[in-house]
A = this chain, B = another copy of it.
Amino acid sequence: MEHRFQNYSLETSNRGLVRALQFERLQNVMDAAWTTNRFYREQWTAAGVHSSRIRSIEDFTARIPVVRKQNFMADQEDHPPFGWRHDHAMSKDEQMVICTTSGTSGQGVEVHASTESESRMAAEVYAYGFRWAGLVPGDSIFVNYPVTLLGGGRIELRGAEGYGLTVYPIGNYDAARKLELLERFQPDGIMSTTSYLGHLAAVSQTLPPSSKLKTMMGGGESGGYAWLKRLTEQWDVPLFNHYGATQTRVDHMFPCERNIGTRKNPGMLHNIDPYFLMEVVDRNSGDQVSDGDEGEIVVTSLFYTDVPLIRCAMGDRAVYHDPSYCPCRRPFCGVEIGSIARIDDMKKVKGINIWPEAIDDVLFGFDNIDEYQITLDSDETEADLATIRIMPYDEPAVQNDAAFISKVATALQKRIGISFVVELGLPGSLPRSEWKARRWIDNRVHQQE
C-alpha cells in the first residue's frame, strides 16, 4: 500500500521521539495557561496542582483535572460572552476565529475561539487528513457545510483552504442543486456529515456524479464498520471519516491509507500526536486504557497557547489503539474505526446499554436495508418495547417477508442481546436523515420525566 506522508520525518519517526516532542510542547502550553489563563489556573489550584511541578506526560494525565462542557458553560455564564478562558486572547486585540457549538442545549451556546495564528496552525493538522485521504494541494473539494458561527463549516472551510484546495462552499444548496454542481464542476473530493454522503448517493442518478471524485471525507458523526464500509463502496469512492469537535477547533484524528481496514482488523483513526495529546480513559478510574479497550476520549492541544485546551473530556467513548496496532507504522496512537459514539447517545433498553452504532453495524450489514427507525415504547407493564422499522431498497416480494424479518431479528438478538420487534416497510416509507442520523424515537414512560 502506497504511503501518503504529509510530514515524512514525523510520520516515520518513533514513539519515543513523538512522546518527547509532545511533552516539550505540553510544557509550553501549561506555562502559558498558568500565566495567562485564569480559567485553567483556578481549576488546577482547586485540584492542588501547579503546572511547573509536572515532570512527565504520565504526571500530567494523573494530576491535571479534566474539563468538561459544564466547566465551559459555567465560565461563560459568569463572564459573558467569552468566559475567562478567552480573556488573554481577547486582550491581544488580534484577529480571531470565533465559533459556537451545536450541542445538546441548542445551537450557539458554548463559545470556542482561536487567535488567527492558532487557527492557521490548526490548518496544519487538517493537512494530514487531506493528504491521507488522497488529496493534494490544487485539488478541488465541495465543502458541504453551511458557513455559520458553528465550528462545523468554518473549520472545514479554513482547513481546506489552508491545505491549498480549491473550495466550493455548497452547504446552502439543496441536494438536487448539489448533484448538478458536482456534475458541472467535477471536484476531486467532497466533505460532508457522514450520513449526508449516503443521502446524496441515494438520491443521485449517476454514480458518482463527479467522475473525477477520488475521495469523500465524512465527519460530525461516527458509524459502525458495516455502515462506513457501505458508504465507502456506494460510488466506488473511499469515504474517510474523521474526528474532531468545536472544542478542539479542528479535526485531529484521521484514517491512514488503510481507511476502514477489514472486518477482522478494522482501520484506525490516527491522532495527529505532534499537535494533540489524546488519551482514552476509563470513566471510573480515570486511567488510560490499554490497546483494544474502551474509554472516554480526552484531548489536550499541544499548540494552542492563546486559548489553551487542556484535558478536555469529550463525552465520546472509543476503543483505544497503540500505534503498533496499525500496519502503516506511523508512531501515532488512535482509536478504532467504527468504535466512536457519544456517551450521551447510549440507550439503555431492557437494562442493556445499546450504542446506536452497534445497531447500524448489524442492520447495514444486510445489503438490502436502506434505512431504519427504532421506536422505544413502554408496554402495559411499563417494560421496554423496542420496535425496528426497516426500509429496504427494493420492494419486498411479500409485504411481510417472514424469513428476512426473522434473519434480522436473530442477528440483532445475537449482537445486542435483547429482542426487537422487526417490521418491514416499503421503499420511501421512512425519511432519510439528511444530516446527523436521527433514528431513535423514545416514547418510553421513563423518558417522559
| Chain A residues proximal to chain B, CB less than 8 Å | 80-81, 92-98, 108, 116, 137-138, 140, 146-149, 154, 157, 161, 164-173, 181, 184-185
Within the complex, what minimum Cβ distance (angstroms) separates A15 from chain B? Answer: 34
Residues of chain B within 8 A (CB-CB) of A167 are 97
Cα of A278 to Cα of B80 in the assembled complex, Å = 47
Please name 14 pairs of A and B residues whose Cβ atoms are closer than 8 Å in the assembled complex, sorted by A. A80-B184, A93-B138, A94-B137, A108-B181, A116-B164, A146-B172, A147-B147, A147-B157, A147-B169, A147-B172, A148-B170, A148-B173, A149-B181, A154-B169
Chain B contacts for A95, CB-based, 8 A = 137-138, 161, 164-166
CA distance A165 to B96 in the complex (A): 7
Question: Do most interface residues of chain A lie in helix, strand or loop, or is the interface mixed?
Answer: loop
Task: Tell me whether A98 and B168 are in contact in the complex, defined as CB-CB below 8 angstroms, given that A81-B185, A181-B149, A184-B81 are known contacts.
Answer: yes
Residues of B within 8 Å of A81, CB to CB, are 184-185
Question: Could you say which residues of chain B place their CB within 8 Å of the CB of A185?
Answer: 81, 98
CA distance A184 to B148 in the complex (A): 16
Question: A168: which of B93, B149, B169, B181 is its contact (CB, 8 Å)?
Answer: B149
> Are B172 and A96 in touch, CB under 8 angstroms?
no
Contacts of A137 in B (CB 8 A): 94-95
Cβ distance A94 to chain B, nearest Cβ, rounded Å: 5
A89 CB to nearest B CB, Å: 10
Which residues of chain B are near A169, meaning CB under 8 Å? 147-149, 154
Contacts of A157 in B (CB 8 A): 147
Distance in Å from the Cβ of A435 to the closest Cβ of chain B?
14
CB contact between A94 and one of B92, B108, B138 (< 8 Å): that residue: B138
Tell me which residues across on chain B come within 8 A of A168, comparing CB atoms: 98, 149
Instruction: List residues of chain B with CB within 8 A of the CB of A165.
Output: 95
Task: Name the distance in Å between A149's Cβ and chain B's nearest Cβ.
Answer: 6
